[in-house]
Amino acid sequence: MRLFQKHFCAIAISLWAASPGNAQLLVEPTLHIKAEAGSGRVALTLDACGGRTDTRILSALVENKIPATIFVTGIWLKHNAAAVEIMRAHPDLFELENHGGRHVPAVDTPQKIYGIRSAGSPQAVLAEVESGAAALAVTGEPAPKWFRGATAEYSPSAIAMIRKLGFKIAGFSINGDGGSLLGAKETARRIAAAKDGDVIIAHINQPTHAAGEGVVQGLLALKAKGLTFVRLDDADGIGDEGTTD
């Protein structure tokens, strides 16, 4: 039975929430991993929204044995088979998770977030999550356990629906590259400032942006400090707004 059918009640509730007069404020959840004694652990999460692969980042991760959780869209998977094969060849480093089928914000009311049109309805939110998981299944990767929506902003009712599908929702505590729009210096500074328990978000799909250089510099600075990198599946993630509990 399809997930749409299994979660009909959740859709009905969200339809009420999305009706006129019941508009919801959006939330941008945070996520931390459980702190650990010693030099500390951080989780690197990289979004692959669309476009191509920043090989500066991918090569640095492989060469320096830095684990990362990669949130991939169905759009990105279609055009980056070579990068996917590299990631699959290093299962000790890369965990591929669900970033949606079409990179549509998981917001069940019609609006724009950072210029991107939201899913706009409960059914469309569910379609975005389901299609993202289906695109990953085609690659032979294990079923995803985490979801991160486009723009990383959500309506509370969409969060509830996604959780009912069995996904944890990946927030973050450090915005490393400002949507890949920051310069190399500022990106490196932000990432290098990460501390034990932080979850970093950056992007691996903008090879022409200066931010990619800064991502590499920041990660190498953290490694030099002795911090350990972990994937989300290898750590206990604690998110707010009902995203992990």
Identify the pLDDT of residue 236: 92
Identify the pLDDT of residue 20: 40
Task: Return the structure tokens found at 182.
Answer: 């920051």
Q: Classify 223 as helix, strand or coil.
A: helix
Identify the pLDDT of residue 206: 98
- pLDDT average per 10 residues of sequence, the chain (245 residues): 38 38 77 85 98 98 98 98 97 98 98 96 98 96 97 98 98 98 98 97 98 98 97 95 96
What is the rounded average pLDDT for all residues in the chain?
Answer: 91
Identify the pLDDT of residue 1: 39
Q: Which residue has the tokens 């702190």?
A: 35
Neighbours of 206 (CB within 10 A): 24
Identify the pLDDT of residue 35: 82
Per residue in 109-123, pLDDT (tens digit) is 999 999 999 999 999
C-alpha closest to that of 123 among 1, 4, 243, 2:
4
| 174 contact partners, CB below 8 Å, separation of at least 6 | 190, 191, 193, 194, 198, 199, 200, 201
Q: What is the pTM (predicted TM-score) of this model?
A: 0.90
